A and B are shown apart, each in its own frame.
Chain A
Amino acid sequence: MPNFEELYGQYATDVLRVCYFYLGDRQKAEDVCQDVFVRLMINTPQLEEGREKAWLLKVALNRCRDLWRGSWTRRVVLGSPVFEMIPAPDESDHKDDEEAMMVAVHQLPSAFREVILLHYYQNYGISEIAQMMDLPEGTISSRLSRGRKKLESILQGGDAQ
């Protein structure tokens, strides 16, 4: 298994961005990212070669889910801050429709958000996501399909519920 620095260099930014996409709170996203890599350092899990990123994202999403659901006041703590774009310095040319889609993904119910992020953002296949989330492949396919419909509805001005 690559050492900690290598794993951090390769995957920490992806983990951080997925967490931010999920939680919409930069500080919380950094906290989760920190938790994940601390766990990696302390527990030194035996990870299959090539599955390191999947493990990191799985632990990160579990933690995000806990935070998101842990408190019913979560919108005050986590959800209320507006999901802001953090473009790179040379990417100041914002496109409204792209931003709208980013925000819409963030507004999806958490179960749909997870699979959309893993599939479309991190390019995982349905069977890999099913493995990561300990769910049947049929459930992942169904959530992807329902997530897409929901996303379309949000983008057309519908409700996230």
Chain B
Amino acid sequence: MNRLEHLPEIAERHLGGLTADARLMGKIKLAAADQPTRRHAGWRPVLASCVALALCLCIGLWAWPAVFPAAPVNMKASSTLLGTRAAGDDIQPVTGDMIRALDVPAGSISVGGSTADAGSYRNLFAPERDGNFPLIMVNGATYRMLISPTNMNEKLLGESLGAVTEYTLEPALSNGGIVSNTVSAGDTVYAVKDIKGAMAAAYVKGSLRVFQRVSFAGTAILGSETLTDTLVSSEHITAMELTGAGVIDVPATAQNLMKTLLDNAEYESASVGSGDTKSLLIGLDNGLLMQLMVGDDTLSACGTWSCPEFFEAYATAVEAE
């Protein structure tokens, strides 16, 4: 890459005809002079827009029941939004045209709604309470409870990881073993079949809940772990949904995207962006969903990983669909 050292001269030769001239300066001065004027004269269009918006809202509310009759939450969806189905049912790859059943609390995630909804932000992580999110720590690896599914099918249970040795509301202060602020002491924690490391499961108040591997108290990956150890390999992926971008529900495309992520992601830190309002939902072939929070070219759950290549590839895939 010696030529890179000469980039300034090369660029000078090849972009030498591109200069900021007096014409552009004139445009800038005109635009700058126009700014305050536009600010003062701006109330009329704003007022007109508000009136029009209010009018549309009134008409919309009046017409809503006639146009969209009430439907049950699990209505049949013709859209191709990333969905879930009851985890543990007969395991088949989820494809775009399948009608999917919900296994989430009403209102917690909207799946199978309008296509206009595609790509809006959804958060699968169970919310914090008492200063911590609901979690299980298994020998230093932390798993956070997901809101979906609310009761996983037992068919998906993998091997036992052991019983909870300590129930505490301050898991960060515990000394190791299997610790939880949600699962009762003595209850068994299981791996999820075929995705050991990325997910765990345990009974919470009689329901089998799923937990996803995340960072906690400044700890993310352990030892020589890689991103693959905290997620799943690409062959288990059936779909993805990236906030603001849309859904990829062709399994082969989603698997290629996952491969791009796993091959190129570089570990940045153990911290996870708390203010992120974008997420990547990953649909698995067993019906479960995983989530990564999305930042500036980064993805995070168990640590923050930089992967510009993934976002470029996702953009290309969305455009190609």
Residues on A lying within 8 angstroms of B by beta carbon are: 5, 8, 12-13, 15-17, 20-21, 26, 29-30, 33-34, 37-38, 41-42, 72-75, 85-89, 91, 94-95, 97-99, 101-102, 105, 109-112, 116, 120-123, 136, 139, 142-143, 146, 148, 151-152, 160-161
Contacts and interface: CB of A to CB of B under 8 A. Distances in A.
B309 A109 contact: yes
A97 B35 contact: no
A102 B4 CA distance: 10
Interface in B52-104: none
A101 B24 CA distance: 28
A95 B3 CA distance: 12
A21 B11 contact: yes
Contacts of B16: 86-88, 91
A98 B10 contact: yes
B158 interface: no
B229 interface: no
Interface stretch (B168-176, B285-293, B313-321): B313-321
A34 B28 contact: yes
Given A98-B3, A110-B308, A121-B7, A17 B18 contact: yes
Given A110-B308, A152-B1, A105 B7 contact: yes
B184 interface: no
B18 A16 contact: yes
A11 to B, nearest CB: 8
Interface of B: 1, 3-5, 7-8, 10-20, 24-25, 27-29, 31-32, 35, 245-246, 260, 266, 268, 297, 306, 308-309, 311-313, 315-316, 318-319
B268 A91 contact: no
B15 to A, nearest CB: 5
A110 to B, nearest CB: 7
Nearest to A16: B20
A41 B35 CA distance: 10
A77 B313 CA distance: 18
B15 A160 contact: no
Contact of A87 (B17, B20, B27, B268): B17
A123 B9 CA distance: 12
A142 B32 contact: no
Q: Is the interface of A mostly helix, strand, loop or mixed?
A: helix
B280 to A, nearest CB: 15
Contacts of B31: 34, 38
24 contacts: A8-B25, A16-B20, A17-B18, A33-B24, A37-B25, A37-B32, A38-B28, A38-B31, A73-B319, A88-B16, A91-B13, A91-B14, A91-B17, A98-B3, A98-B14, A102-B10, A102-B11, A102-B15, A109-B308, A111-B308, A121-B11, A139-B306, A142-B266, A161-B309
Contacts of B17: 86-89, 91
A13 B4 contact: no
Contacts of A37: 25, 28, 32
B24 A120 contact: no
A148 to B, nearest CB: 5
Contacts of B268: 136, 139
B13 A13 contact: no
Contact of B14 (A26, A30, A72, A87): A87
A101 B3 contact: yes
A16 B16 CA distance: 11
Given A12-B20, A91-B17, A94-B14, 7 more contacts: A30-B24, A38-B32, A38-B35, A86-B15, A87-B17, A116-B4, A139-B268
Contacts of A38: 28, 31-32, 35
Given A21-B11, A72-B315, A110-B308, A120 B18 contact: no
A72 B18 contact: no
A42 B35 contact: yes
Nearest to A36: B28
A42 B266 CA distance: 40
Nearest to A123: B8
B28 A146 contact: no
B300 to A, nearest CB: 14
Nearest to B318: A72
A41 B15 contact: no
A98 B1 CA distance: 12
A97 B3 CA distance: 9
